[in-house]
Structure 1
Amino acid sequence: MRSLVALSVLGVALSTSAVPAAADGLERVVVAATGHDSASCGLPTTPCRQFQKALERVLPGGIVVTAGPGSYGTMKITKSVSVLNDGAGIAMVEGGAGQPVIEVNVPDSGPVVLRGLTIDGRDAASAGISFAAGGHLLVSKSFIKGSKMGIRIAPQFGGSVTIEDSLVTNNGTGVASSGASPGQLSVVLNHVTISATRWDFGDGIGLRVVGRTGAKQFVAMTDTTISNNNMGPLGAGVGCRRGRGDGDQQRHRQQ
């Protein structure tokens, strides 16, 4: 009998620990257009409404996922997280008058993944995505438009950024990258299109790379098209030079 009681008590303890308290957060948080931003939102049955609330609810290293199409507001990301929209329809991240639509500022240098998002600055945001601090940022299968800078890469202490399978269009500047000292910055563009930058909203440069004293910066492009901009790739600043490996003319096209 005592064994049965002990097993029963253990079962209750296990079942209780499997359900996190509201203050503890969740490893996987769901957002939906039908959701509500409550203190306990995030489960599939009680999704959050805005990405920002979902970021408050998710644990470091966790995942925020969309349950359907919708407009989910702006984001300030301060911890390692993945924000994913995998086939649930168009997930809009909009707004940011004079501010970035998505700001990535992760003090502990954790990785951040943004996938399947439509990021619209509505001709008002300073940047579609601003990478200010973090270990690694991956932007995948996303559409970035309508900001002064489509993607601004200016980390305080270096890091790495990968942009893949994405379209950056109709921004003042497409992608702007500048290194910081101390630290090393690595930027890789793979199967990216940067197009239709605008003089009326920025400098009209498709890709701008700025070198700084004491900073180490490496930018590489594969199968990337930079076209229909007022200016193509521009390198400026201390120690900035352009290199080309075998076959780069086929992989990188400036029109």
Structure 2
Amino acid sequence: MRRIAWLAMAVALLLPVFASAPAHAQATRTWVSGVGDDANPCSRTAPCKTFAGAISKTAAAGEINCLDPGGFGAVTITKSITISCEAGTAGVLVSGTNGIVINAATTDFIYLKGLDIEGLGTGLVGIKFFTGAGLVVDNCVIRGFQAGSALAIGFNPTSNATLTVTNTVIAKNGISGTGGGIQVAPGNGTATANAMLSHVTLEKNNVGVASVGAGAASNVQIYESTINGSLNTGIVAAGTGGVVRIGRSAITGSGGAATSGNVLSYLDNQINGNNPDTTPGTAGGYH
């Protein structure tokens, strides 16, 4: 009897430990749903409601997936993470603020896929990148960020970092005279930002793509993409370190020049209907 009593006491002491452990655990894969609840553990059978709710329960280098369409809200990312949604509209709807802010470690990598990021005409920046090793934006739509100098993507790393944007539509960002689609501009004079844009459609932004290297290196490569109807210039390269190279792409219908600054062409682009049709320099690189 005494032995049984001791066993019962040991179990009673350990029960609170076992009960509390899941509350502190982070899963490598979590889930969100349009009908979820952030009080849930973000499992497939008990999904969360927002990306912000899910990311706190997702381990570094883990993944957040969408069970169904929904509006999943703005989120700040401070670690390596994948947010991948292919189950319908994965909305990030914001007004007067940023959609997704990335302020991670310099070794962290972020992958965003299948998101519909909407700024409602008053949003600041759709995806704002401060620190991290790299960012991939795949199969997304970013539109309606028009609060003055607003941007669809502001890639402003304070240390060396890479950006890849592919199969993505970026439309109606910035207003006449300020802001625009994608801006690659290192956040300090020692950082190097390398960006690759492939199969990207930029439609009716103030400036389509801007590469700004004020003492830092900002290298942008554009391949098989379309920049149409820019209110101002299609592509801008500014500062001593800013350069853009374009191949097999179209720049059409800009209210200003097709290109400005150190923009180089592989001589296989379509540049028509701009004001004027600026002729870029010739890029090397064919082998």
Q: Calculate the TM-score normalised by the size of structure 2.
A: 0.74
Aligned residues: 225
The match for 1:117 is 115
**Cα deviations by residue, 1:31-55 (Å, 9 ceiling, x for unpaired):** 00111111x5211111000110101
The match for 2:31 is 30
Do 1:120 and 1:144's aligned partners in 2 also have CA atoms closer than 8 Å?
yes
The match for 1:220 is 221
C-alpha distance in 2 between matches for 1:102 and 1:109: 19
Do 1:226 and 1:253's aligned partners in 2 also have CA atoms closer than 8 Å?
no
The match for 1:196 is 204
Which of the two has higher C-alpha Rg?
A: 2
- Summarize the Cα distance change of 1:139–1:243 in structure 2 as closer, same or farther, 3 Å threshold: same
C-alpha distance in 2 between matches for 1:225 and 1:243: 16
**Cα deviations by residue, 1:20-79 (Å, 9 ceiling, x for unpaired):** 7221211000000111111x5211111000110101110000000000001011010111
Do 2:214 and 2:238's aligned partners in 1 also have CA atoms closer than 8 Å?
no
Q: Is 2:190 aligned against 1:182?
A: yes
C-alpha distance in 1 between matches for 2:239 and 2:273: 22
- Summarize the Cα distance change of 1:37–1:21 in structure 2 as closer, same or farther, 3 Å threshold: same
**Cα deviations by residue, 1:175-224 (Å, 9 ceiling, x for unpaired):** 11112322211000000011112xxxxxx1111111111x1221001001
| Matches for 1:101-116 after TM superposition, within 5 Å | 101-116=99-114
Q: Which runs of 5+ in 1 are unaligned?
A: 1-16, 198-203
Per the TM alignment, residue 246 of structure 1 is displaced from its structure 2 partner at its CA by: 5.4
Q: Which structure is higher in RCO with an 8 Å CA cutoff and minimum separation 6?
A: 1
Three-state SS of the structure 2 residue aligned to 1:176 is: strand
The match for 1:153 is 155
The amino acid of 1:169's aligned partner reads: A
The amino acid of 2:104's aligned partner reads: V
Do 2:32 and 2:64's aligned partners in 1 also have CA atoms closer than 8 Å?
yes
The match for 2:126 is 128
Do 1:118 and 1:142's aligned partners in 2 also have CA atoms closer than 8 Å?
yes
The match for 1:200 is none
| Matches for 1:20-99 after TM superposition, within 5 Å | 21-38=22-39, 40-86=40-86, 88-97=87-96, 99=97
- Summarize the Cα distance change of 1:96–1:52 in structure 2 as closer, same or farther, 3 Å threshold: farther
Q: Is 2:245 aligned against 1:245?
A: no
C-alpha distance in 2 between matches for 1:220 and 1:108: 22
- Summarize the Cα distance change of 1:48–1:184 in structure 2 as closer, same or farther, 3 Å threshold: same
Three-state SS of the structure 1 residue aligned to 2:263 is: coil
Do 2:91 and 2:118's aligned partners in 1 also have CA atoms closer than 8 Å?
yes
The match for 1:8 is none
Per the TM alignment, residue 136 of structure 1 is displaced from its structure 2 partner at its CA by: 0.8
C-alpha distance in 2 between matches for 1:27 and 1:254: 50
C-alpha distance in 1 between matches for 2:95 and 2:103: 16
Per the TM alignment, residue 96 of structure 1 is displaced from its structure 2 partner at its CA by: 4.6
Do 1:109 and 1:133's aligned partners in 2 also have CA atoms closer than 8 Å?
no
Mean Cα deviation higher: 235-244 or 219-228: 235-244
The amino acid of 2:227's aligned partner reads: I
C-alpha distance in 2 between matches for 1:80 and 1:254: 42
Identity, % of aligned positions = 26
- Summarize the Cα distance change of 1:27–1:96 in structure 2 as closer, same or farther, 3 Å threshold: farther
The amino acid of 1:107's aligned partner reads: A
- How large is the RMSD of aligned CA atoms in angstroms? 1.8
C-alpha distance in 2 between matches for 1:239 and 1:163: 21
The amino acid of 1:89's aligned partner reads: G
Do 2:95 and 2:121's aligned partners in 1 also have CA atoms closer than 8 Å?
no
Do 2:135 and 2:163's aligned partners in 1 also have CA atoms closer than 8 Å?
yes
C-alpha distance in 1 between matches for 2:25 and 2:266: 50
C-alpha distance in 1 between matches for 2:29 and 2:99: 22
